Amino acid sequence: MSSSADTRLPRAERAALARLATDRLRTAAVDAVAIGWVDNAGLARVKAVPVGGLVHAASWGVGAAPCFDAFLVDDSTAEPVTGPVAGPTADGTAPDPAAPPAGSGAVGDLRLYPDLDRLVPLAAQPGWAWAPADRYTQQDTPHPGCQRLFARRAEAAARARGLSLRAGIEVEWVAALAGPPEEEPRYPTAGPAYGLQRLTDLSDYLRDVLRALEQQGLNVLQIHPEYAPGQFEVSVAPEGPVAAADTSVLVRHTVRAVSARHGLRASFAPAVEPGGVGNGSHLHLSLWRDGRNLGHGGPGPHGLTGEAEAFLAGVLAALPELLVLGTPSPAGYLRLVPSRWAGAYRCWGLENREAALRLVTGSEGERADTANAEIKCFDGAANPYLAVGAVLAAGLAGIDGGLRLPPETTVDPARLAPGTVARLPADLSEALAAYERSAVLREALGEPLYRAVLAVRRAESALFAGRGAEEIIAATRWRY
């Protein structure tokens, strides 16, 4: 799966489409286009061009340094992982000791190609449009460290087997008054968890979020106050995995932009208050073949077909290493604890909100459409392209191995005798140890991306080693 193919249209066709898009943007009074990607630290980064530069950007790309692959949450950079990595390669041969092409050095350049299919004027930033980028080399070959191209490869690997994934990423955030970032957060509503009062306190704000998302063509399913002070959630309709990852970037960007217009600041960080309920970024997924939802009408638990069960069993088995991509920050382990609905246990269960893998069938009568599984343990520090691509790889490996789900956990695992159900890794280093043993992720990501992720995660682990919850939270609260 790590082999890279160029998925772009020929240059002349890209230019022609970009000319049409430029006309549309000018009609919509757009002056500038933000061309974004998400780095291995989970931070959305950007280059922007004036609208007149879109044709050139679509034809030849926009420059961006490869050192962004080594950026950490605090904007310092990781040293590349050059030595052998503990685990085996997929084919059992010795690890390649070569440095990844994208080190932390100052030399080199890449090209960002805006995906015109996702180009959209930004409703909460008049005069601006946004498009996600795929990253290519100056030699016009796919950049092996490009996270979005990795997700595309994973999607294509499933498609080659006649399978497609429908995914939706829930976005939780905490809205705070926009004071100096070093101050403790102050919340714009004192309304209770899930309280109607929060809707009255922030009525205009939430309506503006909703309106902006819909003006950008997003299909919002729900918006509601969450548990923690100032916390809200928005969910959108499922779509293909790359599209779902794009959408989550756009949703967050939009929430941030609307927040700024209301004197607020949004935090998507896993932990916002020490000891408090954090922000999750749950990934919903369903597997489809020939237009049929494989999570429904089968002989397995709760109607799973054999293929869907094996896929989910593959995901469940790989959760410790998947955390490196889905719960990648040391801050995430302040959130990923029992009794916060974060899914801290390595188990599955129908509608079980304390299980890392929650099965959701939906109401009788619409299950053929709605049956899905939710990975609850992931958070907003994840690069969504890495998360969906890695989950696909783990699920497909589950199908290859003919895996079955272990017995279901039907109660809150915290109420069972200790050790009955295993906890997920309690910190990033534990998750990293599993990642270093994962031949499946190593093969799927490809060596350069596998090592770039390892470098960043090891460096963030070291960055926060020995620091207390308050310090970690203060350093990450406004970064994601």
* Residue 272 to residue 187: CA distance in whole angstroms: 12
Q: Which is nearer to Mg ion, 246 or 374 (CB)?
A: 374
CA quadruple 326, 398, 424, 411: dihedral sign: positive
Report if residue 320 touches ligand GLU, rule: CB under 6 A.
no
- The least distance separating ligand GLU from the CB of residue 274, rounded to whole angstroms, comes to 14
When binding is defined by CB under 6 A, the residue of 1, 158, 277, 455 that contacts ligand GLU is 277
DSSP 8-state code for residue 417: P
DSSP 8-state code for residue 193: T
Helix (H, G, I), strand (E, B) or coil at 189: coil
Three-state SS for 51-100 is HHHHHHHHHHCEEECHHHHHECCCCCECCCCCCCCCCCCCCCCCCCCCCC
Report if residue 342 touches ligand GLU, rule: CB under 6 A.
yes
- The least distance separating Mg ion from the CB of residue 233, rounded to whole angstroms, comes to 4
> Which of ligand GLU, Mg ion, none does 155 bind, CB closer than 5 to 8 A by kind?
none
DSSP 106-129: S---EEEEE-GGG-EE-TTSTTEE
Enter the tokens of residue 205: 């704000």
- The least distance separating Mg ion from the CB of residue 282, rounded to whole angstroms, comes to 7
* Residue 385 to residue 147: CA distance in whole angstroms: 6
* Closest listed residue to residue 81, CA positions, set 322, 432, 393, 439: 432
Report if residue 233 touches Mg ion, rule: CB under 5 A.
yes
Terminal alpha carbon distance of the chain: 29
Q: Which is nearer to ligand GLU, 173 or 435 (CB)?
A: 173
When binding is defined by CB under 6 A, the residue of 39, 172, 321, 436 that contacts ligand GLU is 172
Under a CB-based contact definition with an 8 Å cutoff, are residues 150 and 445 in contact? yes
- The least distance separating ligand GLU from the CB of residue 309, rounded to whole angstroms, comes to 24
Q: How many residues sit in the footprint of ligand GLU (CB under 6 A)?
A: 13
Q: Which is nearer to ligand GLU, 288 or 341 (CB)?
A: 341
Report the alpha-carbon angle 151-156-161, nearest 5. 135
Q: How many residues sit in the footprint of Mg ion (CB under 5 A)?
A: 1
The CA–CA distances, whole Å, from 436 to 92, 423, 425 equal 14, 19, 14
When binding is defined by CB under 6 A, the residue of 100, 142, 238, 278 that contacts ligand GLU is 278
What track of x and - describes contact with ligand GLU for positions 279 through 318 (by CB under 6 A)?
xx--------------------------------------
* Closest listed residue to residue 386, CA positions, set 3, 95, 38: 38
- The least distance separating ligand GLU from the CB of residue 342, rounded to whole angstroms, comes to 4
Enter the tokens of residue 449: 């991306």
397: Cα within 13 Å, side-chain hemisphere = 22
Q: Which is nearer to ligand GLU, 51 or 375 (CB)?
A: 375
> Which of ligand GLU, Mg ion, none does 353 bind, CB closer than 5 to 8 A by kind?
ligand GLU
Q: Which is nearer to ligand GLU, 53 or 362 (CB)?
A: 362
Report if residue 335 touches ligand GLU, rule: CB under 6 A.
yes
DSSP 8-state code for residue 273: S
Residues, the chain: 480
Q: Which is nearer to Mg ion, 283 or 459 (CB)?
A: 283
Helix (H, G, I), strand (E, B) or coil at 199: helix
Under a CB-based contact definition with an 8 Å cutoff, are residues 330 and 74 in contact? no
Report if residue 338 touches ligand GLU, rule: CB under 6 A.
no
- The least distance separating ligand GLU from the CB of residue 189, rounded to whole angstroms, comes to 17
H-type alpha helices, 216-318: 241-261, 306-317
- The least distance separating Mg ion from the CB of residue 395, rounded to whole angstroms, comes to 23
Q: Which is nearer to ligand GLU, 47 or 353 (CB)?
A: 353
> Which of ligand GLU, Mg ion, none does 277 bind, CB closer than 5 to 8 A by kind?
ligand GLU
The residue number whose beta carbon is nearest to ligand GLU equals 280
Report 344-383 residues binding ligand GLU (CB under 6 A): 353, 376
DSSP 8-state code for residue 220: E
| Interacting residues toward Mg ion by CB under 5 A | 233
| Interacting residues toward ligand GLU by CB under 6 A | 172, 226-227, 277-280, 335, 340-342, 353, 376
